[in-house]
Structure 1
Amino acid sequence: MSSKQQILSALRQHTRETYDMPDLTRLKPITYDDPVAEFKKKTTTIAGASLIEISEDDDLNAVIRDRVVGGWPACPVIATNIMGIDAQLNPDTVASAQELERVDVGIVRGDIGVAENACIWVPQTMKERAICFASEHLVIVIDDRHIVNNMHEAYDLIRQSSYYFIDYQFGTFISGPSKTADIEGALVYGAQAARAVTVVFVNRK
């Protein structure tokens, strides 16, 4: 018997009462009258991200240049595989993920926004997914038609659609900048990933 089995066996021997799993079918996930408005509100509050709203007719490259990159004190290194955006690096064509270590602004597309917690599902649609985590400032572009009420609806969409895993078997939820308060009780940004996140929200007509 392995040490793991010995531990589990000892735990079972000292278990006095057991309980059935709760009936999760009776759980009613939270919903909103206006999930889009709720998503936008929580993006800037709970998630701690910046929000830029544009229309489908706006020039995305100009928005990135003027409202995101324009805030940097020097010429930043930009990485993206979104066509039409000026960038020095492309996560599809770099030789290795290490090349993305020097990225100041990484730009990716999000496919599902969740109103209850401002999480955004970012499927891997690029060769090197390190762009999502190595960038100092991560920009996520998402469409207003892709907002759902809660995580239950988000996971249902992911399970039902093979689109999210056509090229790569990976995706992740991102909600605002990386932050932790475990270091001497001080809130630290960028401990595990981006120090800042901007959500570019595309309003469709």
Structure 2
Amino acid sequence: MSSRNEILMSVRLNLPLVDRPLPVVPLFDDNPPASFLAAFKQNLVRMGGMVLDAPEPGDPLEPVRAKLADARVVCSTVPEITGNRHIASATQPWDLEDVDVAVVRAAFAVAETGSVLLQDEDLGVNAVAYLSQHLIVLLDPADIVVNLHHAYRRPEFRQTHYASFHTGPSATADIEGVLIHGAQGVRSLSVAFVARAAVRPIHSSPGAVDG
């Protein structure tokens, strides 16, 4: 037996046999905002994200369609939008390095921080949320929780292999306070509020071939 294994075995054999239950963590939701949606929008913009609001009444995908108008390579993992780069065609993550805009759906969002939760089931290839130049996230307003304490009780953290909060676009700042977006990831993150399965699929451009 190696020295490492001997040390670990000794630790295991000498662990104190006491029952120490984890403390109960409160949810800190005594004073929730009047509107989760309004709070989410405010905090998303504060973190450098963009809100894609459609006029009322109107097609919630209209602002998404406008954002895709000049994109050469669109990779969509949602049924509502059809792109011209199929996520299944990426055999390696770097196959997505030329994607101009990726369109994905968030599992849920957090009003307190303006964050969206992206998981492997929705992304298809996790790297699409980092390698694309711009990221558009579809979010059902019903999927917004009040704060991170509620968020971490969601099943996504136990039922999926990958789940990551995204709060605005990639950003970095040097000691002089110069803020740069897109340094290590997407240059912009936009959120459109689209209920799940509420609209029929559309094509992002006349040349779109698959989703």
* Structure 1 and Structure 2 fold alike (TM over 0.5): yes
How much has 1:184 moved relative to structure 2? 6.0
What displacement does 1:203 show? 6.1
In 2, the alpha carbon distance for the partners of 1:123 and 1:145 equals 18
Unaligned runs of 5+ in 2: 8-22, 199-211
- Provide the rounded CA distance (Å) in 1 between the counterparts of 2:195 and 2:77: 22
Task: Indicate conservation of the 8 Å contact 1:53/1:202, yes or no.
Answer: no
TM-superposed CA distance for 1:182, in Å, is 2.7
Corresponding position: 1:147 with 2:147: no
User: In the TM superposition, what is the alpha-carbon distance from 1:157 to its structure 2 partner?
Assistant: 1.4
**TM-score using structure 1 length:** 0.73
Q: Which residue identity lines up with residue 68 of structure 2 in the other structure?
A: V
167, 186, 192: which one aligns with 2:178: 186
- Residue 53 of structure 1 corresponds to which residue in structure 2? 53
Amino acid at match of 2:149: H
Q: Is the 8 A contact 2:28 2:149 kept in 1?
A: no
Aligned to 1:86: 82
Normalised by the size of structure 2, how large is the TM-score? 0.71
Q: Partner letter of residue 192 of structure 2?
A: V
Identity of aligned residues (%): 29
* C-alpha distance 91-28 of structure 1, shift in aligned 2 (>3 A): same
What is the one-letter code of the residue matched to 1:135? S
Q: CA deviation at 1:53?
A: 2.3
Partner residue in 2 for 1:13: none
Task: Tell me, yes or no, if the aligned pair for 2:77 and 2:124 is still in contact at 8 Å.
Answer: no
Q: Aligned equivalents of 2:155 and 2:106: distance in 1?
A: 13
Distance 1:144 1:56 in 2: 16
Q: CA RMSD in A?
A: 3.0
Matched-pair contact (CA < 8 Å) for 1:56–1:203: no
Unaligned runs of 5+ in 1: 6-22
Whole-angstrom distance in 2 between the partners of 1:36 and 1:82: 22
User: Which residue number in structure 2 is paired with residue 69 of structure 1?
Assistant: 68
Partner SS for 1:39: helix
> AA paired with 1:49?
G
| CA separation of 1:188 and 1:86: change in aligned 2, threshold 3 A | same
How many pairs are equivalent?
A: 176
Deviation at 1:98, TM superposition (A): 1.5
Q: Which amino acid aligns with 2:190?
A: T
